[in-house]
Each structure stands twice: as C-alpha cells, then as structure tokens.
Structure 1
Amino acid sequence: MPLLLPFTDHEVNTLLSPRSGEQKLGQTLSTFPCAFDDIASYVAALEQAKAQGIRFVIIGIGEDIGPRANLGRGGANDAFNASMAQFVNLQANRFLDGSQILIAGQLDTSAIHVGSDLNTDALRNAVEQLDELVIQALSPIFSAGLEPIVIGGGHNNAFGLLTAAKQATAKKVAAVNLDPHSDFRPREGRHSGNGFSYAAASGALGFYHVLGLHELKNSEQTFAQLEAFGGSWHSLQSIWVRQELSLNQALDEIVGMVKDSQLPVAIELDLDAITNMPSSAATAAGIPLLDALRYVYRLANETGAHYLHLAEGAPQCHAAGVDAGYREVGQSVSELIFAYIQGRNACQYLG
C-alpha cells in the first residue's frame, strides 16, 4: 500500500483553466510523478525536491474519522481536493510563482477506512492508526528541511504533526492555534478534541496558546487541564466582542511568548474559527477570514514557523450545497496558503 496518493501533473491539468497570456500556479509548481513503493524512495524524492529549490510541501489528509470519534459531524475528508481546484488556478506572477511549491498529494488512509456505523471506541482506535500514518508521512518532510502545509482531516492530526516535528528537530514544539475550542479535552481515546492534550502528555508539545477561544465552548475541566499544562489563550470575546485588546495587540503578545520559548513553531488553524465556514463545527459567531489571514501571515513572518495546519474544512457541510462548499473552502484555504508562504518568504527571524 503506498504511503501517499500523489497529486500528479495529470491531476493538476484536470483542474487547470488556462488562459492565453496568463500563467497559473499549476503551470509552475512541482508534483510527484507517481506513488512510492517504499519509504526510502519517498525520502529520496523529498531530498531531491529540496535540492531543486522546493521549500513548501502541500499535503492532504482526507479523513473525517477524528471529528466523528469526537461525536461531531463528518465531511472533513474533502478539503484538499476543494483547495487544490482553486489554488492551481491562481495567477503565477511577481507576488508568487510556484517554483518553491510541491503539491505532494494525500495520505493513503484506505487501510483505516471506517464506516458510519462503527461505535466510538472503534473510531478512536482508528484515529490511533491514523496518528501513526501522519507521523510516518510527515517526519521525512521535516527531516528534509521542508515546510509542510497540511490541509484537511480533523484537528486530531495535530498530534501526528507535532510528534513528527519533534522527532525531526529533537525539540518540543510551540503551537499556536486559532480555534474556538482548545482541543485539550481529556485523554479518553483519540479524537479531534484532544490532539494537543495527548501531545502535551507525550512530550511533543512544549508551549501552547489558543487564539479566539470561545468562552462557552470549552468545559471547566478542559480549562483546568490547559492551565495545569501552562497553556494560555486570548478569547474570542475579549478581542472581538468586549474589545479589551485588538487582534494586533494579541498577536504582539503571542509572538513575544513564542520567541521567548525558543522552540520550533506550529501554526494551527481550525477552519471552524471563521464565521460560517463549512466545517465539522461551523459557527455563526466566528472571526472574519481577513483576520485569520492576518494571524497566519504574522506568525509565519515573525516566528520560526515549521508548518501550517488547516484543519476541519468540510465542503459538504455548506448550507447551500457541496458546490458552494467547494468554492468557499477552496478559496479560503488558498488565501491562507498564500498568507503563509508570503509570510515565510519575507521572514527574517532566525530563531
């Protein structure tokens, strides 16, 4: 079974809408030509990509096992496809060309596919298998000195990403998460709501801050666990409702804390933080997409960011139907990818 289902030139060309006199990102970025039979071939291909000037590796995780194991809705399995349909058709120009970008493909999760009728224990066991797959696929990307941009799946995949980053850097990771939920629920079996609490317990997580945390969407037990770990937060209400501080003031504080930690940085973003974004836990009381872009750009630009993780996008959960969901998730994720890449390319922070 291949580790990765490659996103080849054929897939890119299927999605492209070329126009005379224009050059699209899909015409300038790199892909893998085929699946890899073994890890050694995968590692060698990543190292070759690095040598050829690739910096960013876009990879998808097409699953909704984690949200379902957290008693939530499915649908987070198609964000990668929706996003690539939009991303490859953006213009390649002076602001961004595809020379640094490799679209690797999606993790092959077929061996851990579960039906909708499985009980919670079975789903949570499946998430543990998914964790191992994420670690296996992402560790070589980090080790090659590349920066993954991970799209799709539940926020459960933060655990595998943090673990892979720690293995590659031999350091704990500082994670900042734009999310109404802390995802620091009890370790009751793996699901999308406890990726960070499991990462803290395993030693992969060294610092954790939640931006946009909703004051009434987290249990008192979760708050207590987060505080016991030393985690911190700026709530949705403190910034966007009570206006006790501005978003930029909060980001100033976060950047300062992250720099003080002297750890590799993970930029996490749950798409359900954004107002009415199709996701497994969509919210009417969210933040504007432009503020999410500002968050990604500043963290990418001002810290030693190692990756961007965009979780929980679920096109099929759009109130107007799947086609509308594909457009909204695809356009939003594409803008977030652009914000991250621009921030990283302009970054002068060496920590």
Structure 2
Amino acid sequence: MFTAFDQHALDALLSPRSGETKLGQTVAILDSALPLEQALSHAKQQGARFAILGISEDLGPRANLGRGGANDAFSAAMSQWLNLQSNRFYTGKNCLILGEITPPALAADASLEQLRQATQTLDEQVIALVSQVFDAGLEPIVIGGGHNNAFGLLMAAKLSLGEPLAAVNLDPHSDFRPKEGRHSGNGFSYAAANGALDHYHVLGLHELKNSETTLEQLSLFGGKWHTYQQIWVRQELSLSQALKQIAKDLNQTQLAVGLELDVDAINTMPSSASTVAGVPLVDALHYVHYIAKHCPTAYFHIAEAAPACHSANLSAGYRDVGQSISELIYAYIQGRCV
C-alpha cells in the first residue's frame, strides 16, 4: 500500500522554531486533490526535482535469513531531515516528500517461501509506483527497507527510460546471489536476468562475505568491484582513485546510473547485517556526492537501515539512522545540483 505524505504527517514530525525556517516548511508534498499521476506532474511543474520515497518493509532481509527492522528507516530519516535548516546552502524547495510504500506485515514465524513470495509482490508495487515518478521527470531518493528493492527501482527505470541502467553499489555484499526466490541478496542478479542492469560495480565488497558461487556469477555477468580490503585495509589504492575509475567506467556505458548504498557498509550503522569493520560515514558521503556529481544518476537508493538493530535502544537507532540518512540525502542533492 502507498500512503502519500500529507500535511498531517509533516506537522507531526516538524518542530518549528521562531526566527528559523526548517526544510519541513519549504519542501513540497503531493496535492491530495489530484490523482497520483497528475499530482506528480504538478509537483514537477512547481519546481520539484527530487522525490523522497520510503519503502517501509523488512520482508527482503528476513527472506534472506537476516534480521528485521528495516521498516523504520523512512520515519527516522524524515524526523531529522525535515528539521534541518532551510538557508543559503539549501532551501529544500526542489524536494518533494512523496510518501511510503508499506506492504502487509508477515508474522515473525512466516516461512521462507511466504517471505520470498511477499518480496516478489512488493517488487510489483515498487515498479508500478516508481515508474510514475520517473515518467513525471522526478529523481527518486528511496529510503529503506531491504536491498531487494534495487530490483524494483532498476526495472522501473528501464520501463520509463526504455533501456537498461548501469549501477554502482557501496556494499560489502554484491547482492548478486543465485535466483532462488526473491530476497535482499539477489536484487541485482534478478535485474540483470530481466534486462534492467547492463553494467554493475561494487565498491567496498568484502573479500570474505561473498560466496565463490556468487563471485563467479558476478564475474560471468561482467561485474566489477573494488574490495573493502583493497582500499581501507591494504590501501593499495585510495578511495579517490577508485571513484575516478568507477565514474569513468560508468560514463563509458552512456547509460543512466543507479546509485546504490547499503548502510551495512558503514561502520556500526544499525542494519540487518551491521559491522564493526566498515566504511566511515564521511567516506560514504563522499562516494554519494562524487558519483552524483560526475555521473548521470537516475536515482539514489539507501537500503537496509534498521533503527531497531541499534546496540543501545530504538531511540538511539532513530537518532543515528535519521542523522546519517539526512547527511546522505544532502550529499546526493549537492552533487546533483552543482
């Protein structure tokens, strides 16, 4: 089910302050009097460029035998994003808060088959909605749930643009696992098999968190990678050198680019597969800004953030996830608006 973000939802999260203007006071929301297709076009005509969409689910990670909790990332992010300042650096006027997709919840004891079927059903919902966003000329910024939603985003972009995409993904996992039923670990292999993904590069791939079968499948597809150990451990090349190579390869494809980020890659970020040996947040921000600035990105996807998985408590998870995703959104918008 899709729920549009309305004035009531905005007011519930916004904390106005005398003498200040918050992003929540300047961003656009959908005109509820119009059908969705017309409302999106109207927002575009009124100056919106970016459409922030939440996908509030943890079906994909659970279908991949991972932890749940990725269903709260959108609300955590918006509680922080909307209360940032609107000022000379960024006013927020080109940002539409679209709303969120919330599929039916499945019980904790749901079978693997049930979870994977529900993930496939969610794919169809994501494709249907995001296709309309692309058709309206807006750039989706998609927050949550699992990385399974990369498939729906790539398929929607292919339908709207009429050609496959190239994609780059900051992620310790390639998510190019066998097509054994839909889950968060095979969104890109399904996209490749369905003609929506033509070129794929993984940045920060962990050398011991991908099976040989997955690596072989990715190699046969022609996928490329820079590993976490190459850059951040052995320091065989710098992050800047890797990003220059990646951008050059992406631009040579002459395709639109899907910009992907799994917060599992970021050090101690609450997620379904959080790690203590991850990429610093500031490096993740630089990755997002650099690709957004130097490549023709079609969308930005922030996956797997799970506030409930914070080591302290849910409140701390909301704070850390909300602040981190807000910084990632701003890094993307800055890169695209240069």
Shorter-chain TM-score: which interval? over 0.9
Partner of 2:295: 303
8 A contact 1:4–1:35 mirrored in 2: no
Give the 5 Å matches for 1:29-108. 29-34=27-32, 41-108=35-102
Aligned residues: 338
Deviation digits for residues 273-307 of structure 1 (CA, Å, limit 9, x no counterpart): 00000000000010000000000000000010010
Q: Which amino acid aligns with 2:62?
A: R
Partner of 1:335, secondary structure, is helix
Q: Which amino acid aligns with 1:25?
A: L
1:336 correspondence with 2:334: no
Partner of 2:4: 6
Deviation digits for residues 258-283 of structure 1 (CA, Å, limit 9, x no counterpart): 00010010000001100000000000
1-structure distance, mates of 2:257, 2:9: 32
Residues 115-124 or 159-168, more deviating: 115-124
Give the 5 Å matches for 1:1-351. 3-34=1-32, 41-110=35-104, 113-346=105-338
**Deviation (angstroms), 1:34:** 3.7
Q: Which amino acid aligns with 2:244?
A: D
2-structure distance, mates of 1:189, 1:12: 37
What are the ranges of 5 or more consecutive residues in structure 1 without an aligned counterpart?
347-351
8 A contact 1:6–1:33 mirrored in 2: no
**Deviation (angstroms), 1:35:** 8.7
8 A contact 1:318–1:324 mirrored in 2: yes
8 A contact 2:56–2:73 mirrored in 1: yes
**Deviation (angstroms), 1:222:** 0.4
8 A contact 1:134–1:161 mirrored in 2: yes
**Deviation (angstroms), 1:21:** 1.1
- Identity within the alignment, %: 61
Q: Which amino acid aligns with 1:81?
A: S
| TM-score, normalised via structure 2 length | 0.99
8 A contact 2:59–2:146 mirrored in 1: yes
Partner of 1:77, secondary structure, is helix
**Deviation (angstroms), 1:33:** 4.7
**Deviation (angstroms), 1:108:** 3.5
Deviation digits for residues 47-99 of structure 1 (CA, Å, limit 9, x no counterpart): 11111110000000000000000000000000000000000000000111111
Q: Which amino acid aligns with 1:290?
A: V
Q: Which amino acid aligns with 2:128?
A: Q
Q: Which amino acid aligns with 2:239?
A: L
8 A contact 2:57–2:102 mirrored in 1: no
Deviation digits for residues 188-222 of structure 1 (CA, Å, limit 9, x no counterpart): 00000000000000100010000000000000000
8 A contact 1:178–1:273 mirrored in 2: yes
**Deviation (angstroms), 1:32:** 2.1
8 A contact 1:9–1:33 mirrored in 2: no
2-structure distance, mates of 1:6, 1:166: 24
